[in-house]
Amino acid sequence: MRRMAVPMQQTIAGRAVVQGFGYWSGRDVRVEFRPAAAGSGVTFVRSDLGSQARAPARVEWRVEAPRRSNLRFGRVEVDMVEHVMAALAGLNIDNCEVWVDQPEMPGCDGSAAAFVDALLRVGIVQQGTEAVCLRVSEPVRVTEGDCWIEARPSAKGEFQIEYQLDYPRCRTIGRQVARIVLTPDRFRSELAPCRTFVLQSEADALKEQGLGRRVTSRDLLVFSDDGPIDNRLRFPNECARHKALDVLGDLALAGRRIVGEITAHRSGHRLHAELTKALVERFATSPLRASA
């Protein structure tokens, strides 16, 4: 019988830069991805606070916030990390330092494409150390009302995500399903370009609160009853695909490559984090570093 190749840990070959502004804060921000040693995982470094202001990208340091995933490690806070984490996980980059000069990551076009393009430009290198995997060996589900997300074993040893979206408040979104077996190539073409979305009424309410004032309908998908305003969909089910992207980014806070089948129904960042915690508690077979 032919043995499957053992995946190796990976980092990037050089420094990659992405610049933009935070959707929530409106502040300009510069992100610089840097290579990191095998076994070090992903660490955010707040360069505006000094080179020792570090936050490990781990689910135990996640703090609850509306519509996004934030981290807090001591005095160090980083906000809206899910798209950066999705880009790294989708490309199987295990070790990386993410240097930022503001708390909030840039929204770019609401997808992970800008991060993916920057990382691929500098290249990805293997590190000669076996990748740390989390293999789902029995079903795990977390539920809140009629929203849920579950993990099941994969008979083929794959990482698959299915997202079931049901958005009755907007008929042009409605019900959608996105399903993908994750490989770097498929992630790059099928998930990374998929943008976040809000209803026009939600966008207006946020701006009334003083949030997102710099964001326009060309920076992400804003839906009226007639569809996206000043924008075109990249996929008919782009909204469900973006939700699958969020699932990937949130699960990446496990700090390990996941082998299993994930199915989510109307779930959000909080439920994703609860599943990630449950998976780490049940199936993590090797410890990670406790701090940056």
H or E element at residue 83? helix 82-90
Does the annotation mark 269 as catalytic?
yes
Structure tokens at 151: 């993990």
Q: What is the DSSP letter of 170?
A: -
8 Å CB contact between 196 and 110:
yes
Q: Using CB atoms within 10 A of its CB, is residue 154 exposed (0-12), middle (13-18) or buried (19+)?
A: middle
Instruction: Read off φ and ψ for residue 118, nearest 5 degrees.
Output: -65, -40
For residue 123, CA distances in Å to 6, 15, 89, 116 come to 21, 10, 15, 10
Question: For 262, what's the count of Cα atoms within 13 Å in the CB-facing half-sphere?
Answer: 31
- Which residue is listed with tokens 């099941």? 152
Instruction: Print burial letters for 206-218: b (CB count within 10 Å at least 16), e (below 16).
Output: beeeebbebbebe
Q: Which amino acid is at 79?
A: D
Among residues 83, 242, 265, 269, the one annotated as catalytic is: 269
Strands 54-56 and 62-65: unpaired
Q: Which residues are annotated as catalytic? A: 269
